[in-house]
């Protein structure tokens, strides 16, 4: 593989994110060399990412690396890289449930999975976290169908539905074993239903909870308070020093206003999400379903199949079930509907070394 000659790449929208998808075989095996290459592919560090594929926002500066799995019962291994926009950081401590929506279609496009006549069911191992997922989507003539009637808030138009069922790995749903903890003087529920997340009531930080992402990002004191909670939560969750990482996420909760179950504003970790990530939504939904957790008393509970998570662009229907085992430990399973679209398939030429 000679990067100067270009690298096979597919740019895809997955859920409410966009990223570059690669076969692992087309990239360096060495993690540091691979990270340097992906920074140059995406155009980082540069706040505009003008010299690469990145879109100058964390939601559009993502990479999915795909390979056939050697794990029994699994088809595909998926490694996610969060490429920082204006620094040389490449995050591997979290996964991305939005780009996950494109993993199955990409695997079929690249011939790694042979679908049935009308449907593909791709079993995926999320290498960053150890979780597993099954993505089910329609196919035609052996290739994914991208056109369809499914729509998700935060994405214009409609596309083919992709059903994703997530099952947890070996990590506990509540990493500290507590329904809530005091973190930096604020009550927080520390939860990991696919994404390490700290749930905090919005009014604890002096906001209403319906502010726009731009408004929230303009308050430096709020950003400092959120980052303090995030770093302290990371230590409590067993993640170590997370000051240079992208997890855990902090999600501020408030009463719903759009007919949903709970309103959210998610920090990722410094920018505010224009909607909400799939696995953040799954973590929020699981959290507000646990008696005594932060947000449980703010949420409007119903017998509906999905918990509607309100976010700046609309609502996200999170289908989550929680239960306790004989030892009183909480567990969760989640199902989500996403869409994805192939934007281009070709060769990307990384920025040369300075």
Domain residues of the chain, as ranges? Answer: 3-161+339-348, 181-331
Structure confidence at residue 326 as a pLDDT band (50, 70, 90): confident
Cα–Cα separations (whole angstroms), residue 238 to 61, 191, 209, 233, 247 = 27, 12, 28, 9, 11
The residue with tokens 């329904």 is 179
Neighbours of 70 (CB within 10 A): 8
- Is-contact 13 343, C-beta < 8 A? yes
Which of 174, 189, 163, 197 is closest to 277 using CA atoms? 197
The answer to whether the peptide bond before residue 269 is cis (omega within 30 degrees of 0) is yes
Task: Let me know if the fold of 3-161+339-348 is the same as that of 181-331.
Answer: yes
In the predicted structure, residue 261 carries a pLDDT above the cut 60: yes
The per-residue b/e assignment along 322-346, b for 16 or more CB within 10 angstroms, e otherwise, is beeeeeeebbbbbbbbbbbbbeeee
* 3 or 95, which is more confident: 95
In the predicted structure, residue 4 carries a pLDDT above the cut 90: no
Per-residue model confidence (pLDDT) at position 168: 63
What element of type H or E holds 336?
Answer: strand 330-338
Q: What is the mean pLDDT of residues 243-260?
A: 94
Instruction: Residues 181-331: name the CATH superfamily.
Output: Diaminopimelate Epimerase; Chain A, domain 1 (3.10.310.10)
d(CA 174, CA 22): 33
Q: What is the mean pLDDT of residues 64-91?
A: 96
Structure confidence at residue 282 as a pLDDT band (50, 70, 90): very high
Q: What is the residue-averaged pLDDT of the chain? A: 94
What pTM was estimated for this model as a whole? 0.80
Which CATH topology does 3-161+339-348 take?
Answer: Diaminopimelate Epimerase; Chain A, domain 1 (3.10.310)
Structure confidence at residue 1 as a pLDDT band (50, 70, 90): very low
The secondary structure of residue 67, as a DSSP letter, is: E
- Is-contact 25 6, C-beta < 8 A? no
Chain segment 149-182, per-residue pLDDT in tens: 999 988 999 999 999 998 766 678 999 999 999 9
Q: Above pLDDT 70, what percent of the chain?
A: 98
Per-residue model confidence (pLDDT) at position 328: 82
Chain segment 174-222, per-residue pLDDT in tens: 999 999 999 999 999 999 998 999 999 999 999 999 999 999 999 999 9
Per-residue model confidence (pLDDT) at position 15: 95
In the predicted structure, residue 232 carries a pLDDT above the cut 60: yes
- Is-contact 26 1, C-beta < 8 A? yes
- Is-contact 262 168, C-beta < 8 A? no
Neighbours of 91 (CB within 10 A): 20
- Name the β-bridge partners of 272: 267
Chain segment 114-126, per-residue pLDDT in tens: 998 899 999 999 9
Query: What phi and psi, each to the nearest 5 degrees, are found at residue 102?
Result: -90, -10
């Amino acid at each position: 593989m000679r990067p100067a000659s270009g690298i096979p790449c597919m740019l895809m929208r997955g859920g409410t994110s966009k990223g570059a998808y690669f076969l692992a075989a087309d990239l360096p095996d060495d993690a540091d060399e691979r990270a340097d290459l992906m920074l140059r592919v995406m155009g980082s560090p540069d706040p505009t990412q003008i010299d690469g594929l990145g879109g100058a926002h964390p939601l559009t500066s993502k990479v999915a690396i795909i390979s056939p799995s050697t794990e029994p019962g699994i088809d595909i291994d998926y490694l996610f890289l969060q490429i920082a926009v204006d620094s040389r950081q490449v995050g591997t401590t979290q996964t991305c449930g939005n780009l996950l929506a494109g993993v199955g279609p990409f695997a079929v496009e690249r011939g790694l999975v042979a679908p049935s006549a009308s449907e593909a069911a791709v079993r995926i191992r999320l290498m960053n976290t150890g979780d597993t997922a099954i993505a089910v989507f329609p196919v035609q003539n052996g290739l994914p169908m991208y056109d369809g009637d499914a729509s998700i808030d935060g994405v214009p138009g409609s596309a083919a539905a992709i059903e994703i069922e997530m099952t947890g790995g070996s990590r506990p749903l509540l990493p500290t074993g507590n329904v809530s903890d005091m973190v930096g003087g604020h009550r927080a529920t520390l939860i990991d239903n696919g994404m390490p997340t700290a749930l905090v009531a919005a009014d604890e930080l002096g906001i209403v909870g319906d502010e726009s992402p731009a408004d929230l990002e303009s308050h430096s004191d709020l950003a400092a308070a959120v980052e303090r909670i995030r770093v302290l939560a990371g230590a409590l969750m067993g993640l170590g020093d997370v000051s240079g990482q992208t997890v855990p996420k902090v999600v501020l909760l408030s009463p719903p206003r759009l007919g949903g179950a709970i309103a959210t504003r998610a920090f990722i970790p410094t920018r505010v999400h224009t909607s909400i990530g799939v696995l953040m939504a799954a973590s929020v939904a699981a959290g507000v379903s646990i008696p005594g957790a932060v947000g449980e008393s703010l949420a409007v509970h119903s017998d509906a199949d999905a918990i509607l998570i309100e976010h700046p662009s609309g609502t996200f229907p999170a289908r989550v079930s929680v239960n306790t085992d004989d030892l009183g430990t909480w567990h969760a399973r989640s199902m989500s509907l996403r869409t994805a679209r192939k934007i281009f398939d070709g060769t990307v030429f990384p920025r040369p070394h300075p």
